[in-house]
């Protein structure tokens, strides 16, 4: 009985930015739990490669290639998923990006790109999906925040600003949509080994800092986010709403 609470059989899950890295790991995990996953991103070839691997494992997968920073593309993409695949039960807002520069020299164009990718996309996709969830009276929204939803570091002020906003959007959505049996929560990854972090991992000084700053003494793996994603997407979390679940090896728990 208790394990059945984590089953996603019969559910359809849209995961944005799921062609690689954290998004793909979570999509694979949700598919293993029984969900039909819809992979999203702008690079169709990358999505097709990821989809083939999931399908080869005997699990249900579709592709929805659209730009989550383009409002019209999001509206059309979500409508197509609902029409061709079925009603979206689970949305994981994972698409994100990072730009680094001293704040006083941060390019305005880069600011707009970070905000559009990390924040506008969450608004666009969540609005398009919840407009359909509300009449059905059910749904799960999982936003991907960061340890930077709570902490700050030099050279990434725009990223930190967006991830703090995602945390508060999560709480606002919980307050507004809870009465419709829609739970909105967030995951706050710590320092995770991904392709996008290759340069940081290779930087011995930075990597040593991560290990010394994190009680677990190491970088996290993408697979270690899967349990949190399944929990917040399943009936096991039906009375969890507005929560930011840190998966960071204890980094935000200590000074």
Would you please indicate which residues are annotated as catalytic (active-site) residues? 159
**Number of CB atoms found within 10 A of residue 106's CB:** 17
Would you state the structure tokens that stand for residue 56, as one six-digit string? 């080869």
User: Taking Cα atoms as reference points, which of 115, 128, 210, 189 lies closest to residue 156?
Assistant: 115
Pair 175, 131: CB distance under 8 Å: no
Phi, psi of 63 (to 5 degrees): -120, 140
- β-pairing, 90-93 vs 12-15, is parallel
Pair 143, 171: CB distance under 8 Å: no
DSSP strand E in 18-147: where? 36-41, 61-65, 90-93, 139-144
């Amino acid at each position: 009985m208790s394990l059945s609470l984590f089953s996603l059989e019969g559910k359809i899950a849209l995961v944005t930015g799921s062609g690689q890295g954290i998004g793909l790991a979570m999509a694979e995990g949700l598919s293993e739990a029984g969900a039909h996953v819809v992979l999203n991103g702008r690079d169709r070839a990358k999505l097709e490669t990821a989809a083939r691997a999931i399908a080869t494992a005997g699990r249900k997968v579709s592709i929805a290639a659209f730009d989550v920073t383009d409002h019209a593309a999001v509206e059309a993409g979500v409508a197509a998923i609902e029409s061709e695949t079925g009603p979206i039960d689970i949305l994981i807002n994972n698409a994100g990006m990072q730009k680094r520069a001293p704040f006083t020299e941060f390019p305005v164009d880069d600011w707009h790109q970070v905000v559009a990718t990390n924040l506008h996309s969450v608004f666009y996709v969540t609005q398009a999906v919840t407009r359909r969830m509300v009449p059905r009276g059910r749904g799960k929204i999982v936003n991907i925040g960061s340890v930077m939803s709570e902490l700050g570091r030099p050279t990434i002020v725009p990223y930190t600003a967006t991830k703090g906003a995602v945390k508060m959007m999560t709480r606002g959505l919980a307050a507004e949509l809870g009465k419709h049996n829609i739970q909105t929560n967030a995951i706050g990854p710590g320092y995770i080994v991904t392709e996008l972090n290759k340069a940081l991992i290779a930087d011995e000084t930075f990597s040593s800092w991560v290990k010394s700053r994190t009680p677990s003494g190491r970088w996290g793996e993408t697979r270690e986010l899967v349990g949190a994603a399944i929990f917040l997407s399943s009936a096991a979390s039906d009375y969890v709403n507005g929560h930011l679940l840190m998966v960071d090896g204890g980094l935000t728990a200590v000074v």
